[in-house]
Amino acid sequence: MRNAFFGAVLCVGLFAGCGPQGELGAAPSAVSLSALTGPMPYRGVNLASAEFGVDPYGLGSLPGTYGSTYVYPDAASSEYFLAKGMTTMRLPFRWERLQPTRRAALDATELRRMRTTVEGITNRGGVVLLDPHNYARYGTAVIGSAALPNSDFADFWSRLAQEFKTNPSVLFGLMNEPHHMPTEQWVSAANAAIAAIRATGATNLILVPGNGWTGGHSWTRGGYGTANGTALLAIQDPGNNYAFEVHQYFDATFGGSSSSCVSTNVGAAVLGDFTQWLRAHGKKGFLGEFATGTSATCIADLEGTLSYLDQNTDVYLGWTYWAAGPLWSASNWYSLEPTSTGADKPQMDVLERHLTPPQAPVSTTPPPTPPASPPASPPAEPQPVRYVGSRAPVESQVLNTDRTALFDVLSAQ
């Protein structure tokens, strides 16, 4: 998510949506086996907060102060979503915090925080998608540049894969929203990271984003350099267990800069080219971020997008809504956390209708077998009760130069 990462939002634990959620007295939630063995097995939400404090260009609070600038969500915060029928929690974090010195060991304290959250979720039957939320950067240096060679990115992923390769309930998202770089440069970096992951013996599913903020609407159209639909055909995975991750918002910029939606069918209309590209090339896709406001137009658009994904499970592995997590202000329109009275948000009402595994098309490839339970997690690190998150709009630039054509598509529906 690129439009809400810099600036201060004060959250006090007395208000809903702020602070960590403690362990619940009830037994851990159980994820339905049918959800993980049926079509489109990975459906859930982004559990944000560990990436807070830094903007999409690498400016902000690094490393920041744990418990105020950023925090890893308590694993118990996933129980609300798992109980709804979700299976997958995308976990954004910052590379610089986990590996303060490039090509050096991962920070033990930060790794413990991450592992506590990951194992807490997977022990509850959930799946975790690790997401270095760095926009193809370390600080302000761009991956693949002289200042940040691909070998540094590969080293990072080699170390991270080594830590989680034995947990089949962990998926590897290579990077969040690469942008402002040649697409070919990103492809080379992605291939280096994939090779490093596989060299560890890891067989986990890898999700590969595209350039240009990995927009689904611009996947085959470009406007940011060579189109992802052309350049990313050069992605190589020795383990042949990967999918392409796109993000799609429904506002006028397609980037989530506003809670408004331009029509009731943005998602289904603009994902069409990406869907056909997946099918034509025998690839799989994943919708890693999407969000709407609560207007009637937006709710209809959300319903239409999820229905569209349900109808195309032969090429989609799943989706994760943006977002949840302890540092969100209760009033932030992105937040999927329940209200102060415990009521579901309107968006959750729509999402929940699409958590029963949809009917598989004839051409669907069977999803992987249910993941095994990993070892018990270590004790959770004590959490403070008051946080300052870092979220505010940082840009609303329209990165797709062919946006007019997309609106023509929408008006023709």
Res. 156: pLDDT tops 80: yes
pLDDT one-digit tens code per residue, 258-289 = 999 999 999 999 999 999 999 999 999 999 99
Domain boundaries, the chain: 9-23+30-412
Please answer whether residues 389 and 11 qualify as being in contact, where contact means their C-beta atoms are separated by less than 8 angstroms.
yes
Pick the CATH number of 9-23+30-412 from 3.20.20.80, 3.40.50.150, 3.30.420.10, 3.40.1830.10: 3.20.20.80
Mean pLDDT of 361-365: 42
pLDDT value of residue 259: 95
pLDDT value of residue 334: 96
How far is the CA of 392 from the CAs of 28, 258, 259, in angstroms? 34, 11, 13
- Cα–Cα distance measured from residue 34 to residue 159, given in angstroms and rounded to the nearest whole number: 33
Mean pLDDT of 211-228: 97
Q: 38: pLDDT confidence band, cut at 50, 70 and 90?
A: confident
Mean pLDDT of 211-239: 97
Please give the radius of gyration of the chain, using alpha carbons only, rounded to the nearest integer: 19
Residue 79 is a catalytic residue: no
pLDDT one-digit tens code per residue, 115-127 = 999 999 999 999 9
Whole-model pTM: value is: 0.83
Structure tokens at 97: 């915090």
Res. 385: pLDDT tops 60: no
pLDDT value of residue 310: 97
Res. 235: pLDDT tops 80: yes
Mean pLDDT of 245-258: 94
The answer to whether the Cα torsion of 195, 199, 203, 204 is positive or negative is negative
Q: Please report, rounded to a whole number, the percentage of residues in the chain having pLDDT higher than 90.
A: 74
pLDDT value of residue 364: 37
Mean pLDDT of 139-153: 98
Res. 109: pLDDT tops 50: yes
- Cα–Cα distance measured from residue 146 to residue 168, given in angstroms and rounded to the nearest whole number: 35
pLDDT value of residue 170: 98
Mean pLDDT of 28-54: 85
- Cα–Cα distance measured from residue 321 to residue 400, given in angstroms and rounded to the nearest whole number: 22
Q: Which uninterrupted H or E stretch holds 317?
A: strand 316-324
Catalytic residue among 79, 96, 119, 289: 289
The single-letter code of the amino acid at 173 is: G
Structure tokens at 26: 């009830």
Please answer whether residues 380 and 76 qualify as being in contact, where contact means their C-beta atoms are separated by less than 8 angstroms.
no
Residue 110 is a catalytic residue: no
User: Mean pLDDT for the chain?
Assistant: 84
Instruction: Report the 10 Å Cβ neighbour count for 10.
Output: 11
- Cα–Cα distance measured from residue 34 to residue 56, given in angstroms and rounded to the nearest whole number: 37
- Cα–Cα distance measured from residue 99 to residue 159, given in angstroms and rounded to the nearest whole number: 10
Catalytic residue among 177, 245, 303, 337: 177
Res. 368: pLDDT tops 70: no
Q: 36: pLDDT confidence band, cut at 50, 70 and 90?
A: confident
pLDDT value of residue 380: 37
pLDDT value of residue 110: 98
State the Cα torsion 275-281-283-285 to the nearest 10°: -20
pLDDT value of residue 330: 80
Among 68-82, 95-109, 373-387, which is the least confidently predicted range? Answer: 373-387
